[in-house]
Amino acid sequence: MKRKKHILIGAGTAALCALKQIRRLNREDEIKLVSMEDSLPYSPTALPYIISGKVGVSDTFLVSEGFFKKLKVEFLKNRKVERIYGENKEIVYDKGIREGYDSLLIATGSEPVVPDIPGLYEGEFLTIRGIKDAQALIEKVKEGNSAIILGAGLIGMHIAQCLSEKNMKVKVVESLPSILPAYFDKEASEIIRGIMEGKGIECLTGKKATRIEWKGGKVEVNLSEGGSVEGDLLVVAVGVKPRTEIVDGSGIKIENGGIAVDDRMRTSMDDVYAAGDVASAKAFFTGENGLNPILPNAAEQGRVAGSNMVGVDTVYEGWIPMNTFSYFGHTAISVGMPFSSEKDEVHVRKINGTDTYRKLIFREDRLMGVTFIDTEVNAGVFNYLIRKKVPVGEYKMSLLEFPRETSLYLMQQAEKKETISLEE
Amino acid sequence: METFFDTLKIEENICPPGCGVCREKCTQVQRSKGKNGSGIHEFHIPDLGVHMANTCNQCSEPVCLDACPSGSISKDEKDGIVRIDEKRCLGCGLCNLVCPYGGIDYRADEKKAFKCDLCDGSPECVNVCPVKGISLMKARSIVGYFHEDPLLKGSSLCVGCPAETTLRFVLRVMGKDTFLFGAPGCATNVINGQGIKCMINIPSHMSNMTTVPSTMTGVKRYYRRLGKDVKCVAFVGDGCATDVGFQPLSGAAERNENIIFMCYDNEGYMNTGIQRSSTTPYGGWTTTTPAMGRRKGKKMASKNVPLIMAAHEIPYVATAVIGYPEDFLNKLLKAMAVKDGMSYIHILSPCILGWGYSIPASLEVIKAAVETNYFPLWEYERGKYRITYEVKNPKPITEYTKLLKKFAHLEKEEIDELQEIVNRRFNRIKRLTEAF
């Protein structure tokens, strides 16, 4: 059999998982990983921890140098792929060099969204996506100084926490009415906000930045409904968008701002796959394509793409929204649908005198989503119950009372059933 | 890369209510290593009568590893243990979020993930569990002996037939320089191929039922003359080994030919329509020993062939089942090491169709046969008898017969008789182990 050449563009979780999967299934094929950065692969998820000083940069590399040698993978650093020519099955690097492929994976990830705010570009603001961004921020951290963060999403709040722990005064500006609006409902978000504000982080929600003024090393952000905040540095963390410029002019279909893929992670071009933050892939609940730029999905999509690239037909089940946020010794977890609709049954439990909050969303006898604050659970088990559509009918109240125990019990029962389901 | 490693197995719902001894022990062990946490957790839901425990499965392809943003989770290639590098752990909780089996704990207060490290190979929780509900499944010690699987995909045995698993296991352990012999029977299609399809990747030969040992004798002697050490292995059913082909088997044993003869005993002629054989047990239903009216299956006890083979005083005789692979492995290794005579291994291999049980229950049936002493695991090695797997609390024979439709018609009288046969035979082996 002819050896095939697989080129993987990007060096994040999706590309690495695809790479490992290809090697798992095929020991012969040629694999090439192209990174536009000059470091070993790392995950943007680790950046806030670099900023907080918990780990050094070299401690966050996903794999070591030896990894590529062992798996017989060529790792190209500092190279950018400019264009894809699908008809010739060729890519063009930044210096005009062409290279043919048998299968191609686009896993270029995402980049920060920079909103169009008057005055923003007149000064030096920061975004957090690469190691260099993190290092730039570290240099600007100074005890007693104040920082303004635009965006109260997971990255924004995480950076807020890091800077606050470095004894900076932090103000977060969010245009939506609550913090962490994508993953937590109003009530949960208020609990988290309470803790954050208790630690001195000011959360200005429901306020848009209308104008940014830079004067003498200070930055002033004018807000809608009047008023303004002043700080020593400005971090923009309003969200991320797929990094898709690589497919410009190639004819590969774009939707929702990402590269459209089918349930085998194939793009509209033959033998070109996409996975991770860059892909607009099938959602588990709706079956429709959409973006969900989180690490666990990138890993799963990478594995599916890798299998299909070597001809092992594998179907992607779809992504489920999920995230976990730890802040000042507390944890907030959201798995599945964070918000309920009219046809859902919702159970909420709060425990007086604590910040504990549990919300379970059911549709008939299926679990659809959970939110836990300061509740000790094995979160992945809920992901299992949702994904496997495990009937939980008579256990709803038990799941609310004893979430960890009941979920483990249901998971073990379902696993047992799965192993003997051959019978029917 | 091998993907079989040791893992902890926890029996389902047998924990004593309120017990947390495993967790306490683990915490203590971890503390001695300077760590804070436990890799195993009990969980009790008294209202539902649930008393269980949970730990990491040490997955062969761990999703936690892929989801770790700092690359601090690794799977050891030697011992297969999935470990967290504490120094690099960010404490982000993503591993806890993706593990579907609840194998990783996340501690917000310490900003650390924590999981079972299998005590680097000898888990202490196994020793302290008051109900012996935790055991270490040692796939690694077996897989270490595995060679490439010579049995190709798509064998034509019935779905779920343990004979296939058994043959695969045997051949993987045997490795290179193995010549396989078969006779008409269930495994014929695997050994001989079907139509133009070949299903095995090593030399093999089909003989008549009555000529397997004599053919093996010739092939073995031929290779010996060439100066090659080739393992001549027979894998035949009880019809061939204990009925039709018993005389030449006995003859080869008497001549002490250097062959390895294995009988997969499914207690009947399953391939030709489930007729009785001499190993069909007392009371067992077959199409020729029906259960209708006053007729209640086979009237006489089965022929105790392994014991008869031991009476030939050949170097090695054993009974084995695929349900106890470590025991089986040791016996195969001993049989392979014999270079001066014959080895005989008698394998109990349930038949889904002929015995009447559901496909996934093969191992359950095999284990019940051993745990009731219906099929004791013993060996005879150069004059010495030894029970290789001692059943601590033998279960009544009904625990075995209730699983099988072929015993469904038995009433108390026949059950008692069967129990009597089982006891008598086990005691005989027991006495032999003491006598010799």
Q: What's the pLDDT tens digit per position in B80-113?
A: 899 999 889 999 999 999 999 999 999 877 888 9
Question: Is the domain of B340 the same as that of B227?
Answer: yes
CB within 8 Å: A324 and B44: no
pLDDT at B2 over 70: no
C-alpha triplet B298, B301, B305: angle, nearest 5°:
125
Q: How confident is the model at residue A419, as a pLDDT? A: 59
Q: How confident is the model at residue A1, as a pLDDT? A: 62
Q: Are B162 and B102 in contact (CB under 8 A)?
A: no
Q: How confident is the model at residue A164, as a pLDDT? A: 93
C-alpha A124: how far from its chain's center? Answer: 26
**Quick one: average pLDDT of B193-219?**
90
Q: How confident is the model at residue A363, as a pLDDT? A: 94
DSSP state of A278: G
Task: Kindly state the tokens that stand for A293.
Answer: 């730029």
Give the number of domains in chain B: 2
Q: How confident is the model at residue B142, as a pLDDT? A: 81
Q: How confident is the model at residue A421, as a pLDDT? A: 45
- Minimal-distance CA residue of chain B relative to A51: B90
CB within 8 Å: B88 and A59: yes
In this structure, is residue B2 part of a structural domain?
no
Q: Are A408 and A366 in contact (CB under 8 A)?
A: no
Enclosing H/E stretch for A300: helix A295-309
Domain containing residue B276: CATH number: 3.40.50.970
pLDDT at B343 over 50: yes
Last residue of a domain, one of B111, B141, B171: B141
Question: Is the domain of B103 the same as that of B175?
Answer: no
> Where would I find the beta strands (DSSP E) of A28-97?
30-34, 73-76, 81-85, 90-93
Q: How confident is the model at residue B256, as a pLDDT? A: 96
Separation in Å, CA of A182 to nearest CA in chain B: 17
pLDDT at B352 over 60: yes
Q: Are A196 and A179 in contact (CB under 8 A)?
A: yes
pLDDT in tens, A202-216: 999 999 999 999 988
Count CB-CB contacts under 10 A for residue B303.
16
Residues from chain B contacting residue A420 (CB–CB below 8 Å): 360
Residue B215 is which amino acid? T
Question: Is the domain of B274 the same as that of B294?
Answer: yes
Domains and CATH numbers, chain A: 5-110+241-309 (3.50.50.60), 120-238 (3.50.50.60), 329-423 (3.30.390.30)
B260 or B187: which carries more pLDDT confidence?
B260
Burial class (CB within 10 angstroms; exposed 0-12, middle 13-18, buried 19+) of A211:
middle
DSSP letter for each residue of B180-203: EEE-SSTTHHHHH-BTTB--BSS-
Last residue of a domain, one of B141, B174, B204: B141
Q: Compute the distance between CA of residue A222 and CA of residue A213 in angstroms, rounded to an integer.
A: 8
Residue B176 is which amino acid? K
CB contact B97 to A (< 8 Å):
yes
In this structure, is residue B337 part of a structural domain?
yes
Q: How confident is the model at residue B294, as a pLDDT? A: 87
Question: Is the domain of B16 the same as that of B68?
Answer: yes
3-state secondary structure of A126: strand
pLDDT in tens, A156-214: 999 999 999 999 999 999 999 999 999 999 999 999 999 999 999 999 999 999 999 99
Output phi, psi for B315, to 5 deg.
-60, -40
Q: Are B42 and B11 in contact (CB under 8 A)?
A: no
Question: Is the domain of B156 the same as that of B125?
Answer: no
CA distances from A188 to A178, A181, A373 (A): 10, 10, 7
Q: Please list, in sequence order, all residues whose beta carbon lies within 8 angstroms of the beta carbon of residue A272, skipping any fewer than 6 positions away.
A: A84, A86, A103, A104, A105, A106, A252, A266
Question: Is the domain of B68 the same as that of B176?
Answer: no
CB within 8 Å: B50 and A20: no
Question: Is the domain of B291 the same as that of B154?
Answer: yes
Residue B90 is which amino acid? L
Domain containing residue B104: CATH number: 3.30.70.20
- Residue ranges for chain A with pLDDT beneath 70: 1, 418-424
CB within 8 Å: A299 and B105: no
Q: Compute the distance between CA of residue B48 and CA of residue A47 in angstroms, rounded to an integer.
A: 44
pLDDT in tens, B5-43: 889 999 888 999 999 999 999 999 999 998 889 999 999
Q: Are A199 and A107 in contact (CB under 8 A)?
A: no
Q: Compute the distance between CA of residue B25 and CA of residue B21 in angstroms, rounded to an integer.
A: 6
What is the ipTM, given to two decimal places? 0.93
Task: Kindly state the tokens that stand for B9.
Answer: 């197995």
In this structure, is residue B125 part of a structural domain?
yes
Confidence of residue B3 (pLDDT cuts 50, 70, 90): low
Question: Is the domain of B104 the same as that of B182?
Answer: no
Q: Which residue from B45, B71, B108 is facing A326, i.e. has the nearest CB?
A: B108
C-alpha triplet B325, B330, B331: angle, nearest 5°:
95
Last residue of a domain, one of B94, B112, B141: B141
**Quick one: average pLDDT of B289-307?**
93
Q: Which residue from B69, B72, B359 is facing A295, i.e. has the nearest CB?
A: B69
Residue with tokens 């798996």: A71
Q: Are B62 and A17 in contact (CB under 8 A)?
A: no
Task: Kindly state the tokens that stand for A386.
Answer: 């949702």
For residue B362, give its domain range: 148-435
pLDDT at B277 over 80: yes
pLDDT at B403 over 80: yes
- Minimal-distance CA residue of chain A relative to B115: A378
Q: Which residue from A378, A412, A422 is facing B99, i.e. has the nearest CB?
A: A378
Q: Are B15 and B130 in contact (CB under 8 A)?
A: no
Q: Which residue from A42, A59, A299 is facing B63, i.e. has the nearest CB?
A: A299
Residue with tokens 């070949």: B198
Size of interface A-B (CB pairs under 8 A): 153
